Amino acid sequence: MSSTAASRKIEYSDSENRNALIAVKAHLIGGLLVFLLMMLAGFAMRAAQGTWLEIAVDLFYQIMTVHGVGVVGAAGIASTGVLWYFLRQYVRLSNTIFWVNFCIFLTGVVMILGSIFLGGYGGAWTFLYPLPAISMGAWSTGAAAVFQLGLLVIGTGFLILYLDIGRAILAGYGSLAAALGLPQLFGKVPVDNTHPPTVVAGTMVLIVNFLGIAAGAVVLVMGLVNLYNPEFQPDALLMKNLIYFFGHVFINATIYASVTAVYELLPRYTGRPWKTSKVFYAAWFAIVFMVMAVYPHHLMMDFPMPQWMLVMGQILSFGSGIPVLVVTGYGALMIVYRSGIQWSTTTKLLFLSMFGWAAGVIPAILDAMVTINRVFHNTMWVPGHFHFYLLLGLLPMIIGFTYHLAGEGRQKEVKATDNVGFYAYLIGGFLTSMVFLASGASSVPRRWAVHMDEWVTFAQVGTVAAALVVLGTLLFILRALISLPRAADPS
């Protein structure tokens, strides 16, 4: 199907639209509240590492586990809300399935919380085999199993949602290749500038996350079999490969899903359309493969890994993120440049996200170089780079979208509280990440509950920075809670 059919917007009934809007808001509010709680958990961890707060070691690891799994889950559910909101304008998506995934997600969250705080599971969200099975008494087999079952349940919910998205895209565009714009890229059909970028991004997210979660579903069950049948001992390196494939793809896809907010909203606030082009398609096509093939950068210190995989992991890590980032960042600049845009907190956040994403990728790329990884592996450098693009790249996209939905983008003046929130968040997020990076550069290891005396200052500065982030997020969320529930659809 070609341009005219594709760029036609889908019609829904009023009640469907109302229900969909409520669902999207539920995703955002749910996600943001979890983010806030998890930031408090992060604050507590930093304070504990800085000796300002006393936390038992086992509790520290439970908090670290809940923080990791909580933010990844919140990122997944909130970014899905963003993507779904825009995608349903171009392909017919089912409200029911969207809600089904949300409810399954909540079920999984309850299971995971139970496994951590009732069962004492503290083996990190990466459930790296064989750690869940060898807790040395810190948690029971049952707790580890419920944690993995919870993840499995959440994964199943997402798979159901992706099946619906896949069905809808196939119905609208015939094949995923067409939705990605490949026939246009390869000159089979003329380039259509109005092909929606959201459809391209949504298709990419669908493909990689589908495969990622499918791998996760296999590896989680193998872990469960091992928990109850210890004589089954799968190859640990293969398990690690699958786990990181799943984990890397899932968290990365949240950024690619949320970036649709930039594609859709900046044009609305500047009055200039986001035009797709061959370069745009090429970038997104490349990223489909890159996101899936770069995960070996987590395994650089696993010497039995086939060398070609590590080489691939390093080379692709240089390039991963860059194509879409360049296309998006450049596109955003071109749209905003001399557009006479009125800066609101909504647009500021969206613009910030471009910076956060771009800058955060730099330490990530550094760490993906074997020679550097030899030194930085498992140091605070790692949390440093991902907090950078998650705190300053991903969250601003999600919060910016929330503000847009709340109607902030069209208000004449920026409220003082929003200003305070924005700068507290910006400075705090930047500092949090930079302190992590600085600690990493000084070889402070990650995932240590108790820090040596020499490292404590880092952690203390980190705690102050964390307080700023929490303050900013609190202001954002209060605002969202007050104006979001009643806000009409601004589009």
Partner 1 sequence: MLLKIKQEWLPLAAWFILALPPMQRFLEQSMVTHMLVQIPMLIIIGWMIGKTLPAEWKAKIAPWNRWGITGMALTIVIMAYWMLPRSLDGAVSEWYFEVLKFITLPVMGIALNLSWPLLNSIARGVLMLEFWATLMRLGWLYLDLPDRLCANYLLSDQRILGQLLLLGGSAYAISWTLRIMFGTKIIKA
Partner from ligand HEM, partner 1, Cu ion, none binding residue 381, C-beta < 5-8 Å depending on class: none
Query: What value, to the nearest 5°, has the Cα angle with vertex 42 and ends 40 and 47?
Result: 95
Using alpha carbons, list the distances in angstroms from residue 422 to 35, 204, 233, 345: 16, 31, 50, 7
CB-based contacts of 289: which residues, under 8 Å, 6+ apart? none
Nearer to partner 1, 52 or 232 (CB): 232
d(CA 132, CA 139): 9
User: Measured at the alpha carbon of residue 42, what is the angle toward residues 40 and 46, in degrees to the nearest 5?
Assistant: 115
In whole angstroms, what is the distance from residue 392 CA to residue 383 CA? 13
Residues 6+ apart with CB under 8 A from 305: 237, 296, 299
Closer CB to partner 1, residue 65 or residue 148? 148
- The C-alpha angle with vertex 248 and arms to 246 and 249, in degrees rounded to 5, equals 65
What span, in angstroms and rounded, lies between the C-alpha atoms of 25 and 20?
9
Site membership for Cu ion, residue 88 (CB under 5 A): no
Binding mask 191-230 for partner 1 (x = CB under 8 A): ----------------x------x--xx--xx--x-----
- Is position 163 an interface residue for partner 1 (rule: CB under 8 A)? yes
Q: Is the peptide bond before 304 cis (omega within 30 degrees of 0)?
A: no
Q: How far is the CB of 462 from ligand HEM (least distance, A)?
A: 7
Cα(308)–Cα(305) distance, rounded to whole angstroms? 8
Q: Least Å distance between CB 192 and partner 1?
A: 19
Nearer to Cu ion, 319 or 485 (CB): 319
Smallest gap, in angstroms, from Cβ of residue 251 to partner 1?
Answer: 21
Interacting positions 69-108 with partner 1 (CB under 8 A): 97
Q: Taking contact as CB under 8 A, which single stretch among the options 231-239, 252-260, 266-274, 389-397 is the one that binds partner 1?
A: 231-239
Only segment of 20-28, 161-169, 258-266, 472-480 that touches partner 1 (CB under 8 A): 161-169
Instruction: Write the DSSP assignment of 410-436 as a string of letters.
Output: G-SS--HHHHHHHHHHHHHHHHHHHHH
Applying CB under 5 A, the site for Cu ion has a residue count of 1
**Using CB under 5 A, which residues numbered 239 to 298 contact Cu ion?**
248
**Least distance from ligand HEM to the Cβ atom of residue 192, Å:** 35
Please choose which of Cu ion, ligand HEM, partner 1, none residue 222 contacts, taking the beta carbon within 5 to 8 angstroms, the exact cut-off set by kind.
partner 1
Helix ranges, 337-455 (H): 345-367, 370-376, 381-389, 395-405, 416-441
249: its two tokens: 């793809």
| Cross-strand partners of 364 | none
Shortest approach of Cu ion to residue 248 CB, angstroms?
A: 4
CB atoms under 10 Å from CB of 372, counted, come to 15
| AA letter at 362 | I
Stretch that binds partner 1, among 37-45, 59-67, 132-140, 153-161 (CB under 8 A): 153-161
Q: Which two tokens stand for residue 72?
A: 């990844």
176 makes contact with partner 1 (CB under 8 A): yes
Chain positions contacting ligand HEM, by CB under 6 A: 35, 39, 42-43, 45-46, 64, 67-68, 71-72, 75, 124-126, 383, 387, 390-391, 394-395, 432, 446-448, 466, 469-470
The option from partner 1, Cu ion, ligand HEM, none interacting with 45 (CB < 5 to 8 A, set by class) reads ligand HEM
Residues lying near Cu ion in the complex (CB under 5 A): 248
Residues lying near partner 1 in the complex (CB under 8 A): 97, 156, 159-160, 163-164, 166-167, 170, 174-177, 207, 214, 217-218, 221-222, 225, 231-235
